[in-house]
Structure 1
Amino acid sequence: MNKEYALYKGDELLGFGTLQELSSQFGVKIKSLLFYQTPAYRKRTSEKKGKRLIKC
């Protein structure tokens, strides 16, 4: 069973699905999606402009 994730930009839900589904939907690499979860990415971006990947 694949894990599902939700991708947010601020309070707006951009997408929901597996990493593979989100990758093809938004045209980004899976590695980039996983980077959205890291503390380094959170420090570089603001809450409103940065994307956040949440594991469901």
Structure 2
Amino acid sequence: MKQYAVYKGEDLLTMGTAKECGEELHVDSKTIYFYASQTHKKRNKGNRMVATLLEDDEE
């Protein structure tokens, strides 16, 4: 499963699947996918939530 880490600035807010992160942050899992997109990262001025896709372990 794909694991994400969600940051706001340099602070780590949560880690887990998109669904788990969404539940923790009270947003839809599609929002986590958007936070991980290049479009969202280009708009970031340092104060937005940004998700990073972590290395996927072979299961």
Q: Percent identity?
A: 31
1:22 maps to what in 2?
21
Query: How many residue pairs get matched?
Result: 54
TM-score (normalizing by structure 1): 0.80
- Structure 2 partner of 1:39: 38
Q: Which runs of 5+ in 2 are unaligned?
A: 55-59
CA RMSD in angstroms, aligned pairs only: 1.2
Structure 1: gaps (5+ residues): none
* RCO higher in structure (CA 8 A, sep ≥6): 1
Runs ≥4 residues deviating over 2 A:
42-45
TM-score by length of 2: 0.77
